[in-house]
Structure 1
Amino acid sequence: MPRSIYLLPLPLLLAAAMMAPLASRPPQPAPAAEEDVVAAAARDPGTMTLAPDAEARWIPFQLTPGNQVRFQMTIDGQAVTAILDTGVSFTLLAQNSPLAAKGKVRPGGQASAIGGAVAIGWMPTRTLSLGGLSRKGGGVAVAPLPALATGDATAVDLLVGRDLLAGHALDIDYAAKRFRLIASGRMPFTGATAPLVVSPERRVYESAVGLGAAKLSPVIVDTGDGSALTVTQAAWRAARLTSLPTTTAIGFGLAGPSVNDLAIAPTARLGKLTAHEVEVRIEPPQGFSESVGVAGRIGSGFLQRYRVLLDPGAGRMILAPGPQADAPAPRSTVGLLLGVASDRLRVLHVMRGGPADKSGWHEGDTICAIDGQPIPRDYVDSPMARWTVGQPGTRVTLRTCDGQDRVLTRARFY
């Protein structure tokens, strides 16, 4: 079964988590008390070098339960954990990382994120190494980076963003769980092509998507967003797909939670590629995408179906089908989005119109056993976790942690 973050219960994390694209706001006049704020235009970009053997320097990664690409790299000679995030305009260091504690962090203004605005700092760095890419000088933005926003039980140190990635081609081999940075213009594999640019306004990767009757543009291409496709309400209406059944899903960004409608679109078009059975989230009015002036986002929940080459310097992305490219989108048949901590599951969201909604489940309810089996410590990776997508019409008995047995009859509801 392909990974789908709104279906897989995650360690301490919503099963529907959305990673937050972090797009810089236009520079604002600083009040007198903030004259030392390091504005985006004043940040030292550093000097980057791509090694002659960069193509051989693959970086292994883990795909987190939230569909993020998690790996290791080094900053100032220290190993850090990181997530690949083309929806972040400036590489972001977690405020509670040991590196931030050691460095000199200055105010850096504000940035837009899912859930609202976040205050950021700016910290200079000496050296940075990522596969075949190295950088001398430069710096990183600094902000709170909770595990809820990064798709795993354990928080990471860093989100690697556009400022480090966009000067080169990014080759992500999801099936082999590895990626590399290579010279722009190279084409190491063939596949369907689609346009790709870095927008001067938002400084993130952007493309266009065909959905129903609409061509949606611009759309952020965001490897840090665990969802498949997210669109604004205006874009959803333009697509003329409002007759499709919808439910709800919740996600967490850097600035907090967001509840969206959720549907499965028959097809979506990305350049010369037509994908089938695509999970689509529809943001509420004034949601993140609308607030930063885009029609939506393409996330890792979609991209992971393919081997992907992102090369904004050459103006293109390339997608070659992977083993799960044509698999139908998995759908919840119980309507519970769950987090897992130790020996229990916690309800983080009850999907509208699902069996759980109709039988009185609520956010905060806890589950300690499924069909008589206690929740194991390896629950997320165990076959037991598939109970949320069981066959419609079948029943499951859930024992709450206060000792009650509650029966759900699975159903297809969106």
Structure 2
Amino acid sequence: MIARALPLLLLAVPLCVVSAAPRRAPVPAQVASVLAADAEARWIPFEVTAGNQIRFGAIANGRPVQAILDTGVSRTIITPEFAAGAGIAATGAEVGAAIGGDVKVGRATLGSLAFGGLTLTRPDVIVTGLPVAAAGGRPVSLLVGADVLRRYALDVDFSARRFRLLPSGRMPFAGTVAPLAIDPTYGAYVTELTLNGRRLRPILVDTGDGSGVTLSAASWKTAAVSGARLTDTIAFGLGGLTTFDLTVLPQVSIGAVTARDVEVQVEPADGYSTRIGLAGRIGAGFLGRYRVLLDPAARQMVLSAPADAAAAPVRSTSGLLLEVTANRLNVLHVMRGSPAAATGWKRGDAICAVNGTPVTPTYAQGSLGRWTVGAPGTTVSLQMCGGATRSLTLASFY
């Protein structure tokens, strides 16, 4: 199952790549699209990136590429590097809306794109840069967007780390149904959610966003949630870095699905959702609690909860959001109201050892990497790369 909490990732903040499409109605989906008769048997294995995204292998123009499955992107994206290597010429100079700000985009046509049981011939794509920070820390060449996916049913089995495409209308497993549609302006997947008795819509359904639930500032105001303990966090998108408020709420409902202990981010007043008329979005940090069927042509999203779907998200008790390099932890952000903020930690501080154990490239995969979400009251000894030693006592703060 995908990790459901930002602090557990340690080496990256959640990715919020959403839409790099020009601000106009999307071009209709490609017609040269063939789903094999045995597509149901063609599961596509994926790995979870450090940014909590679905990363998998595809074939573009006959070449293997690493891709991210991104229902929040209205148009499939390739990088300028891939385009140049494949001899693809990009045309036009338009503006796309993305998390962190607007980005420049061009247009191009791939010769072919294939993964699982799907093959497309001459699909139109967007060409723009995909920063490594916005791709979970490792480069990718392709974001597969809603324009490719939306005529089919997308079955994502997060527990087994695999997905497949099916003909629309298939119901391969039993679950709870929520509404799903294609936004008429941007062409991406949208639903609705209920918070504190208020219905909020449209809500983007975004497998390329590693966070849980993100709301626009206006939606948060409409929901009128009282008593929430807020801190802040950061996210990398195609347009750069953005700061969000962050809390964990006891209940959020999407259609007939009621989820407990949900991590919720709140965008600034001029955030992405506000700029393109969304109430917010749900990402892989939330969807990863379930097995998910996304079938916009049948106007339904089906969620089936495994045994641990109700597990509470892991919360930071340190307040440090960190990036791992070869032999150090670089502080990317100090969360508001946290123990780290109270004791003077700053962005750019560098840690070379934790409780006497040196940081290595495999730090995040071992038990040492969980110290930032340790038990409140625990004191951790941190050796700074400049030679000094600092201690940090963990605490609950949001």
Task: Normalising by structure 2, report the TM-score.
Answer: 0.97
Which residue identity lines up with residue 17 of structure 2 in the other structure?
A: A
The answer on whether the counterparts of 1:305 and 1:323 sit within 8 Å (CA) in structure 2 is no
Aligned to 1:35: none
Aligned to 2:259: 275
CA contact (8 A) 1:174 1:304 kept: yes
Q: Take 1:23 and 1:219, find their aligned partners in 2: how far apart are those partners?
A: 17
Residue identity opposite 2:112 in structure 1: T
1:259 to 222, 243, 253: 243
Aligned residues: 398
- State the identity %: 45
Aligned 8 A contact 2:112 2:119 in 1: yes
Equivalent residue, structure 2, for 1:143? 128
Aligned to 1:126: 111
Q: Tell me the CA shift for residue 322 of structure 1.
A: 2.4
Matched, 1:96 2:96: no
Task: Give the CA deviation at 1:189.
Answer: 0.1
Letter in 1 for 2:102: A
Q: Which amino acid aligns with 1:144?
A: G
2:29 and 2:50 mapped to 1: Cα distance? Answer: 35
Q: CA RMSD in A?
A: 1.6
- Is residue 159 of structure 1 aligned with residue 118 of structure 2? no
Offset of residue 108 of structure 1: 4.9
- Paired position in structure 2 for 1:67: 52
2:368 is paired with a residue whose SS is helix
Distance in 1 between residues matched to 2:58 and 2:335, nearest whole Å: 38
1:124-181 deviations in whole A, cap 9, x for unaligned?
1121111101111222211010111111x21101100001100100000000000000
Secondary structure in 2 aligned to 1:357?
helix
| Most deviating of 183-192 and 210-219 | 210-219
Distance 1:63 1:252, change over 3 A: same
Match of 1:31 in 2: none
Mark the runs of 5 or more structure 2 residues left unpaired by the alignment.
Answer: none
Q: 2: distance between equivalents of 1:326 and 1:2? A: 13
1:101 positional shift = 5.5
- Confirm or deny: 8 A CA contact 1:193 1:273 kept in the other structure: yes
Matched-pair contact (CA < 8 Å) for 1:213–1:238: no
Partner of 2:18: 21
**In the TM superposition, what whole-angstrom CA distance separates every residue of 1:333-391 from its partner, at most 9, and x where no partner exists?**
00000111111110000000000000000001001000000112211211111101111
Letter in structure 1 aligned against 2:128: A
Shift of 1:17: 2.4
Evaluate the alpha carbon distance shift between residue 299 and residue 2 of structure 1 in structure 2; reply closer, same or farther with a 3 A threshold: closer
Tell me the alpha carbon deviations over residues 2-44 of structure 1, each in whole angstroms, 9 at most, x when there is no partner.
6145213455xx3x222210153434xxxxxxxxxxx954x88
* 1:389 paired residue number: 373
CA contact (8 A) 1:213 1:240 kept: no
8 Å CA contact retained: 2:22, 2:94: no
Contact preservation (8 Å) 2:26, 2:74: no
Asked if 1 retains the 8 angstrom alpha-carbon contact of 2:230 and 2:246, the reply is yes
SS of residue paired to 1:356:
helix
Measured after TM superposition, the shift of residue 240 of structure 1 is 1.9
Structure 2 residue aligned with 1:411: 395
My pick for the range that moved more, 382-391 or 218-227, is 382-391
Say if 2:203 is the partner of 1:219: yes
**For 2:297, what is the secondary structure of its paired residue?**
helix
Describe the SS at the equivalent of 1:259. strand
Q: Which AA in structure 1 matches 2:103?
A: V
Moved more, 104-113 or 191-200: 104-113
- Could you list the runs of 4 or more consecutive aligned residues of structure 1 that deviate by over 4 angstroms after TM superposition? 98-101
Partner residue of 1:243 out of 223, 227, 237: 227
Q: Cα distance, 1:46 vs. partner?
A: 4.7
The structure-2 alpha-carbon separation of the partners of 1:57 and 1:99, relative to structure 1 and needing over 3 Å to count, comes to farther
Per the alignment, in what secondary structure is the counterpart of residue 8 of structure 2?
A: coil
Structure 1 residues 40, 311: CA separation in 2 closer, same or farther (over 3 Å shift)? closer
Aligned equivalents of 1:341 and 1:411: distance in 2?
26
- Kept after mapping to 2: 8 A contact 1:76/1:125: yes
Judge conservation of contact 1:123–1:140 (CA < 8 Å) in 2. yes
Shift of 1:110: 1.4
**Partners in 2 of 1:305 and 1:122 — Cα distance?**
35
- For 1:252-285, what per-residue CA distance to the aligned partner results, in whole angstroms no more than 9, with x for missing partners? 1001000000000100001111100000001110
Partner of 2:72: 87
Does residue 373 of the first structure (1) align with residue 357 of the second (2)? yes
Stretches of structure 1 lacking an aligned partner (at least 5 in a row): 28-38
**What are the residue-to-residue correspondences of 1:329-344 with 2, within 5 Å?**
329-344=313-328
Matched, 1:187 2:184: no
Conserved in 1, the CA contact under 8 Å of 2:29 and 2:147? Answer: no
Residue 202 in 1 paired to residue 186 in 2?
A: yes
Using the TM superposition, give the Cα deviation of residue 105 of structure 1 relative to its aligned residue in structure 2, in angstroms: 1.4
Q: Which moved more, 1:89-98 or 1:140-149?
A: 89-98
Counterpart Cα distance in 1 of 2:101 and 2:70: 18
After superposition, the C-alpha distances for 1:42-87 in whole angstroms (9 at most, x for unaligned) are: x883500110000000000001121100000101110000000000
Does the aligned pair in 2 maintain the 1:23–1:202 contact within 8 Å?
Answer: no
